Amino acid sequence: MNINMLMQQAQRMQKDMEVNIKKAKEQLAQTEVQGEAGGGLVKVTMNGRFVVKRLQIDPELLKDEADIIEDLIAAAINDAVRQAETVSEETMQKANSGMGLPPGMAGLF
């Protein structure tokens, strides 16, 4: 195998990876996760690209102190972020599978 063939193969692999990553990012933009806090009193819907789509606050909670509400909103957002991170990692690993990358390298793309 000569160097030109290796270079062509590497270029094809790079193009395939770029296409896979683009598809994965599009898929993440369509994927939604929901974080909750306070036993469901606060719910945050976020997509896999970490964009908050909706914030729901149970009307009963609005009778409480502002600092309690703020803490529950932050907790619900953090819960949604953790879920979105998990979905994102899984999706990107699938996009990079078969590319012959060493373990741990898939997350770089």
Give yes or no for residue 107 having a pLDDT over 80.
Answer: no
| Structure letter (DSSP) for residue 102 | P
Domain 24-93 in CATH 3.60.10.10? The answer is: no
Residues 1-40: b if buried by 16+ CB within 10 A, e if exposed = eeeeeeeeeeeeeeeebeebbeebeebbeebbbbbbbbee
Domains of the chain, by residue range, sit at 24-93
Is the pTM for the entire model greater than 0.85? no
pLDDT at 100 over 80: no
Structure tokens at 87: 């979905």
pLDDT tens, 41-99?
Answer: 999 999 999 999 999 999 999 998 999 999 999 999 999 999 999 999 998 888 877 66
